[in-house]
Structure 1
Amino acid sequence: MTRTPTTASTIPVAARATDVWKVYGAGEAQVVALRGVDVAFERGQLTAVMGPSGSGKSTLMHCLAGLDSVTRGHVQIGDTRVTGLSDAGLTRLRRDRIGFVFQQFNLLPTLTAEENILLPLAIAGRKPDKQWYESVIATVGLGDRLRHRPSQLSGGQQQRVACARALVARPQVVFADEPTGNLDSRSGAEVLGFLRDSVRDFGQTIVLVTHDPNAAGYADRVIFLADGRIVDEMRQPTSDAVLDRLKGLDVQRTSAEATP
């Protein structure tokens, strides 16, 4: 497959990495997690980030979201340069313009589903936009479960609560790190369908880190990483095409490791 430039697009960009390097440790213990990554994530699209274990998927997401600093290069959310922001600036950025969905649902067990969804706004001292909130709740399909606590919800329902929480503040971009990793196939499909619907119906931008070809099949575009570099991308992917590409990456890595 011929790789097309990841930054060439007429669609507005929600997040961007420019020549990003991330190095952990020093000397013999040094690990280079990202190697000169250049990538733009287009607004109003669901982009999946994939690659073998240790390829830098989650590191890239954490750097883009301001959860980790870069060693070299810079990242942006919209027109805001994340690299170099103060702690207070990073807090405001993550609170007001970024949503997060993680493999662990991270719901507070003593709060109801509705209270968990509204928690980021409550912390920020903001009231929800009633019409937007109702739209999110309708899309997530949990209108009759809002008064239930997490222990009274299935895993898929808990993750949909986490997705609604990520969307309720109308963030510029949502980063989802293996959001279906703890779910069965049916619940995972429900969550992925909700994320897909939020892109289609709300124009939301989502960056999805996943190892699952079926999850990547919901995306508009897939970015493939290997050894900290972007090595390929795919538009309008299918799960079978993604699986074939991942197999190719594994073969390349095995061959490289076997070469003296």
Structure 2
Amino acid sequence: MTTPAPDSPGPESPAPDSPAPDVAARAVGLSKIYGTGDTRVAALSEVSVEFAKGEFTAIMGPSGSGKSTLMHCLAGLDDATEGAVFLGDTDLTSLSDKEMTRLRRDRVGFVFQSFNLVPTLTALENITLPSAIAGRSPDAEWLDDVLSRLGLKDRLDHRPGELSGGQQQRVACARALASQPEIIFGDEPTGNLDSRSSGEVLSILRAAVDEFHQTVVIVTHDPRAAAYADRVVFLADGRTVDELRGPTAESVLDRMKQLDEVAAATGNG
């Protein structure tokens, strides 16, 4: 049977709010406005973009392009001004604060630039903290596999201050993976790391997709980091303007240079 075009009428056409089964997260006509009047800033303007399950996507763009705002809205860390954001088939814009907190805890993993570890807890306690807050224990077999693959088994009793930056970020990655979330978001996850530690963390995120079948979305300014992804989505002036599949550091850098030149020419750089 021939599949109708997305805008075809009739009963076989999917509803606008019905995601494809292979879509982990998506934005539909998403706008985010800060301030009013003379201080009004449109961080995002009618962005529509999908993120496939089991895929590693990097979000890139010039400074001020809206990439972090997009990720924060997708992750439920910021509210949409207009439009909708979906995690699977759940419309985040329809959730109460309590429901949003539960969704972030149960269905989303986070890896931040600043690690966000609790300094008084051991590595293992940091890794299992979200599960402990939820009143449950992580799957023992899954957790053991995660710890083994991340090379953390001999660091579990160490506190963050006793770990290198790369080790702390590996702990943060383990924390994000421990609850088997539907999607992992990374906000400049290698921003505070040296090149060797950056490569280790990015390899872990790559393995999370290839071996653990997770979905990973990161914001980055580094073409070398983006080269680990399956797909790069480019933003400029609060809009999605391009995407690249099978990226290399060189192809990403070339695309970013083009966006920077356009921004400079229009006075937005």
Q: TM-score, normalised by structure 2?
A: 0.91
Q: Which residue of 1 aligns with 2:5?
A: none
TM-fit CA distance, 1:135: 1.1
Letter of the aligned partner of 2:99 in structure 1? G
Q: Which residue of 2 aligns with 1:113?
A: 123
TM-fit CA distance, 1:257: 1.5
CA distance in 2, matches of 1:92, 1:119: 14
Letter of the aligned partner of 2:161 in structure 1? S
TM-fit CA distance, 1:84: 2.1
Q: Which residue of 2 aligns with 1:5?
A: none
The CA deviation string for residues 42-65 of structure 1, in whole angstroms up to 9 with x for no partner, is: 000110000001000110011111
CA gap 1:94/1:106 in 2 versus in 1, 3 angstroms: same
Q: Which residue of 1 aligns with 2:45?
A: 35
Indicate conservation of the 8 Å contact 1:21/1:35, yes or no: yes
CA distance in 2, matches of 1:221, 1:71: 27
Structure 2: tracts of 5 or more residues without a match: 1-18
CA distance in 1, matches of 2:21, 2:58: 17
Q: Which residue of 2 aligns with 1:4?
A: none
Q: Which residue of 2 aligns with 1:102?
A: 112
Q: Which residue of 2 aligns with 1:58?
A: 68
CA distance in 2, matches of 1:28, 1:84: 30
TM-fit CA distance, 1:128: 1.1
Task: Compare CA radii of gyration and give the structure with the larger one.
Answer: 2
Match of 1:190 among 190, 194, 200: 200
TM-fit CA distance, 1:256: 1.2
Match of 2:166 among 156, 175, 191: 156
Indicate conservation of the 8 Å contact 1:48/1:222, yes or no: yes
Match of 2:30 among 6, 9, 20: 20
Bigger mean CA offset, 133-142 vs 30-39: 133-142
CA distance in 2, matches of 1:195, 1:257: 36
CA distance in 1, matches of 2:85, 2:65: 19
CA distance in 1, matches of 2:50, 2:40: 27
1:179 matches 2:189:
yes
* Secondary structure at 1:104 match in 2: coil
Indicate conservation of the 8 Å contact 1:139/1:198, yes or no: no
Match of 2:212 among 175, 199, 202: 202
Q: Which residue of 1 aligns with 2:136?
A: 126
Indicate conservation of the 8 Å contact 1:101/1:179, yes or no: yes
Give the fraction of aligned pairs with identical amino acids, expressed as a percent: 63
CA distance in 2, matches of 1:113, 1:149: 6
CA distance in 2, matches of 1:235, 1:10: 20
Indicate conservation of the 8 Å contact 1:63/1:75, yes or no: yes
Q: TM-score, normalised by structure 1?
A: 0.94
1:88 matches 2:95:
no
CA distance in 1, matches of 2:149, 2:62: 32
* Secondary structure at 1:202 match in 2: coil
TM-fit CA distance, 1:11: 6.7
1:247 matches 2:227:
no
The CA deviation string for residues 120-145 of structure 1, in whole angstroms up to 9 with x for no partner, is: 00000011101110111112111111
Aligned alpha-carbon RMSD (Å):
1.2
